[in-house]
Structure 1
Amino acid sequence: MNVEPGGTVQTLEPLRSVDSIASQLLRAEAERTARAPLTDAYPELDIALAYRIQDEALSQRIERGENIVGVKLGLTSPAKQRQMGVSAPLTAWLTDAMTLPAGSPLPQDLLIHPRIEPEITFVMGRRLAGPGVTAATALAAVDRVYASLEIIDSRYLDFRFTLPDVIADNASSAYYVTGPVGADPAVLNLPLEACLLEVDGQLAATGVGAAVQGHPAEALAMAANSLAERGHAIEAGWIVMTGGMTDAVPVPRGTTITAQFTHLGSIGVTC
């Protein structure tokens, strides 16, 4: 854990350690092995360096054959932001390896301790690049809106992490499944789009689009502006998962999770 004799934590050396740490997190994912948070060994790990680790992990995913399909947001709920001491969501990457086809069972054998949350997801009609993106300009770049379920799976023991830890871990990415109903964003009142999340037919949580930064388009704009700070943009055709409308719920084996949206239909996954 990069500890010197006598128990003193060593200083993180970014240029030498970023690729190694990214590899460690990907190995934990592949081997389905939870580990201690990075900040236990590297208490000085900050947000900027955590994003460098996240981007390096993406590069390693691409090298092994994965393709970028979009981005996702985390900590879009003001309550979660207050809990983590931040004022804006975090961003992470989506690749084609994270896509779970509709009707496919969740591959529990590939996961550590999965949880599910319902989200409003955008499919981009054109490129969106910050800085200066507003919710209105962001929404104007959207082609279609879908319901989705995101399966998250932290590589850290007991889902225990700080903000830099979860950024480095690509915001606990695992899988996502998109619903069958695609709607024109112009005909939806996204802040009032409601969702009922059920586990084996029993209501587990409820939420509305307003839980996501007041309006999911605000989250989209924040994603574009945040990515611009790192030299990235949201490309046409990409999907953008705007963040959980409810708290994430555990998914024990054998259960069925269903999310029913007001206008975006129903979506489910068997766990």
Structure 2
Amino acid sequence: MLNDRRRREAAEVLRGAQARRAPVRPLTELFAGIGAQDAYEIQLLNIRHRVQAEGARITGHKVGLSSPVMQAMMGVDEPDYGHLLDAMELREDTPVPAHAYCAPRVEVEIGFVLGADLPGEGCTAADVLAATERVVPALELIDSRIVDWRISIADTIADNASSAGYVIGEGRDPRELDLKAIEATLTSGPDTLASGRGDAVLGDPAESVAWLARTVARFGVPLRKGHLILPGSCTRAVDVAAGRTYTAEFTGLGPVSLSFC
């Protein structure tokens, strides 16, 4: 484990990489002995900095590594999570400058907008559905402040689970849908880039949100009414390029798009 001074140093390294849009070597190379607990503390240091020094507001959370394939790749047996901030909110009608990020990618997600606070310990998928105001088509913009995406589990956790932005559509009441059976397809122009189903996310996206509620409760973090929860991607992540528009189409939910300039 790292001491507090080394954790602060690691947080500053990531802040500098984001500010300069210049990715750095993996933290596992720069800070010997770093583990998952260190990484979550480093993530929180930078979230607190953005809230206190920059006036950012927490708008929700995201789950990463929600598929067995990604967990096996990272050598872990559970997902990870990060924070969503108001500064990360993107719009379908406003192109995103690709050069503002280090190595941007998009992921296709079924988002949950909470209409009530979620319980923490003991939270179930049924609790999630009861508390959800609507599920929404979503694209998450991910980015890595680690060079060439050479990330370990500690690297991505510390780097706010590689989160960078998100855009959502209107959505529907989750009780009107079988979330596990929703099919999602990502296209750009005439090209189909990726496809998947809701059950690629821990078998059920609502189960992923319940996992998150139980996990963050251990750190005294509640999932509140009005928060957006991104439970993990239905498809593989896709690199983005300036001048292209990426559209995710969901059965029963409709489309959501993000353009880059």
Q: TM-score, normalised by structure 2?
A: 0.96
SS in 1 for 2:83: strand
**CA positional deviation for 1:65:** 1.0
**CA positional deviation for 1:19:** 2.5
1:176 aligned onto 2:166: yes
Partner in structure 1 of residue 32 of structure 2: 43
Amino acid at match of 2:104: P
Which residue among 175, 178, 202 is the counterpart of 1:213? Answer: 202
SS in 2 for 1:174: strand
SS in 2 for 1:231: coil
Q: How does 1:1-271 map to 2 (within 5 A)?
A: 13-63=2-52, 64-179=54-169, 181-271=170-260
Which segments of 5 or more consecutive residues in structure 2 lack a partner in the other structure?
Answer: none
**CA positional deviation for 1:109:** 2.3
Count of residues paired in the alignment: 259
**CA positional deviation for 1:112:** 1.0
SS in 2 for 1:106: coil
Q: TM-score, normalised by structure 1?
A: 0.93
Calculate percent identity across the aligned residue pairs.
41
Amino acid at match of 1:261: F
**CA positional deviation for 1:23:** 2.2
Which segments of 5 or more consecutive residues in structure 1 lack a partner in the other structure?
Answer: 1-11
